């Protein structure tokens, strides 16, 4: 499974995981893989989602924020790069927000898409249509580093000149 491969690759490279703090779904699975492999995990979750998103034991440390905005701000501040895995509307909202922040110069961190089984193909085609129609620039489209294999994606993200050493205290 791609999420397990991604988690194992994070551990192998000694990279910490900062994520949304839930113990369910793909991200919960990823957090468990990283934690069980000895990697550092920090889950950041707003008070309003805490009771519904966390079911069972959450691996690593958990930071509870007052609001969703504070959660996303903390995640953006603590991350060295961003990777979107297949997900729903929340995943897309966070992906586009972080891309917008990058476009506006609020950060210069890499943005990766783990394109498992072509999950993001339709979205990328739509973004390409937005470029063709003049709604976004080709520079904005180029912000998305897309790969289907976790090791290849992490190799490409690491070429962005970012700090890729494991933080002792994420």
> 54 versus 121: which is more confidently predicted?
121
State the alpha helices, DSSP H only, in the chain: 2-12, 25-36, 50-53, 68-78, 89-103, 121-132, 138-141, 150-158
Q: 42: domain CATH number?
A: 3.40.50.450
Q: φ, ψ for residue 168 (rounded to 5)?
A: -75, -30
Residue that wins the pLDDT comparison between 168 and 16: 16
pTM of the model as a whole: 0.87
pLDDT tens digit sequence for 142-168: 999 999 999 999 999 988 754 433 232
Domain presence at residue 161: no
Q: How far is CA 148 from the centre of its chain?
A: 15
> Which residue segment(s) compose the domain that 32 sits in?
1-71
- How far separated are the first and last CA of the chain, in Å rounded? 26
- Residue 51 — very low, low, confident or very high, per pLDDT cuts 50/70/90? low
For residue range 112-150, what is the model confidence (pLDDT) as tens digits? 999 999 999 999 999 999 999 999 999 999 999 999 999
pLDDT at 170: 32
In the chain, the number of structural domains is 2
């Amino acid at each position: 499974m791609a999420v397990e491969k991604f988690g194992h690759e994070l551990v192998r490279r000694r990279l910490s995981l900062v994520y949304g703090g839930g113990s369910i779904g793909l991200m919960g699975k990823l957090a468990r893989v990283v934690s069980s492999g000895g990697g550092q995990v920090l889950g950041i979750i707003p008070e309003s989602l805490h009771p519904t998103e966390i079911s069972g034991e959450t691996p690593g440390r958990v930071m509870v924020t007052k609001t969703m905005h504070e959660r996303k701000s903390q995640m953006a501040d603590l991350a060295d790069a961003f990777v979107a895995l297949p997900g729903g509307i929340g995943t897309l909202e966070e992906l586009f927000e972080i891309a917008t922040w990058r476009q506006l110069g609020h950060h210069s961190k890499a943005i990766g898409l783990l394109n498992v089984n072509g999950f993001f193909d339709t979205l990328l085609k739509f973004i390409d249509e937005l470029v063709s129609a003049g709604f976004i620039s080709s520079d904005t489209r180029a912000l998305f580093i897309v790969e289907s294999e976790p090791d290849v994606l992490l190799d490409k993200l690491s070429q962005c000149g970012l700090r890729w050493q494991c933080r002792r205290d994420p």
